Amino acid sequence: MKHASSWQDFKRAVPFLIPACSFYALFYVVPAAVAVVLSLYKWNGLAATATFTGLSNYIAVLQSSLFWKSVVINLEVVVVSLLLQLSVALVLAALLMHAGRLMRLYRSLFFIPQVLSLVAVGMLWQMIYDPANGLLDGVLRSIGLHSIPWLGTPKNALVSMLITTTWVYFGFHTVLQMAGRAAIPNDLYEAAYLETKAAITVFFYVTLPLLRETILISAIMIVTGSFALLMGLFWIMTEGGPAHGTEILGIHMYVQAFKSYRLGYASSIAVVMVIFLMISVTGIIALFSRERVEY
């Protein structure tokens, strides 16, 4: 009877699932399948026919020094974003939990960059980094220091982009960590403070272990965003330059597809990028799943 009831519930739910599943299939499954098929062909996007080349695109990708440079840059972005965004979010969440009535105000202020358009964010930070009239160089000149080419060299440009990225997303992860902290019973903190008066000890031995699941969600979102969402911001501000210094995998794929007209080659980059992303996320989940703390 229970099995029959479950089947009846499923049949009632099918009409409501069809729109969402159709949308997902149309805009996610079908494009992904097309990309996999297209990666096996040589096509410039304009010709009426494409030439089947098998795995030659993948071989060319793996032999490309520019591709591996983009991989290294993307991994640097992932690692630094994890360290910066998570550390800033955890510290701010700890401070804001004791902000009293001003907590909602601070939380809203920190979340503002998240709701801004990436185009607006990119243009705003381009003006901030501008060597002639930018805010940062203006401050440096006012205290007698020389201007810095924030986006003028590969190293400076990557550091500047990481600063911008942290500014955009730290508010979201702060709010997420605050939600995780709010779910921790106060009794645990009271018992911990009876054992030790050091807030830093309580943070490392109580807060961090109990925030494991929330931190995992933030980490997964940072990793996936570093491979996918950041492409737009990086393109607006640097277009991957100077000298390919900020050319993450998304930009490298875009340039090969729509600048060099190598759609088959770009599709193979997309497939490899998804594989890297899956490996990264699986590794993070495995790392966080070693120990599980319950209360």
What does each C-alpha distance from 152 to 147, 156, 164, 232, 236 come to in angstroms?
A: 11, 7, 15, 19, 15
What is the distance between the terminal CA atoms of the chain, rounded to a whole angstrom?
36
| Whole-number percent of the chain with pLDDT over 90 | 56
Q: What was the pLDDT predicted at 103?
A: 79
Q: Which of 97-101, 169-173, 188-192 has the lowest mean pLDDT?
A: 97-101
Rounded to two decimals, the pTM is 0.87
Q: Which residues pair with 42 in a beta bridge?
A: 51
Residue 259: pLDDT over 80: yes
Mean of the pLDDT values across residues 153-180?
Answer: 93
Comparing CA positions, the residue from 99, 97, 105 lying closest to residue 179 is 97
Peptide bond into 242 cis (omega under 30): yes
pLDDT tens-digit readout, 200-251: 888 888 888 889 999 999 999 999 999 888 999 999 999 999 999 999 999 9
Residue 123: pLDDT over 90: yes
- What's the token pair of residue 270? 């997309």
User: Is residue 91 within 8 Å of residue 170, measured between CB atoms?
Assistant: no
Domains along the sequence of the chain with CATH: 64-288 (1.10.3720.10)
User: Is residue 264 within 8 Å of residue 43, measured between CB atoms?
Assistant: yes
Residue 2: pLDDT over 60: no
Q: Give every CB contact of residue 244 below 8 A, 6+ residues apart in sequence.
A: 66, 69, 70, 154
Containing 51, the helix (H) or strand (E) segment is: strand 51-52
CA–CA gap between residue 124 and residue 233 (Å, rounded): 11
Q: What was the pLDDT predicted at 13?
A: 83
CA–CA gap between residue 45 and residue 213 (Å, rounded): 44
Neighbours of 294 (CB within 10 A): 4
Containing 237, the helix (H) or strand (E) segment is: helix 230-237
CA–CA gap between residue 45 and residue 56 (Å, rounded): 18
Q: What was the pLDDT predicted at 4?
A: 55
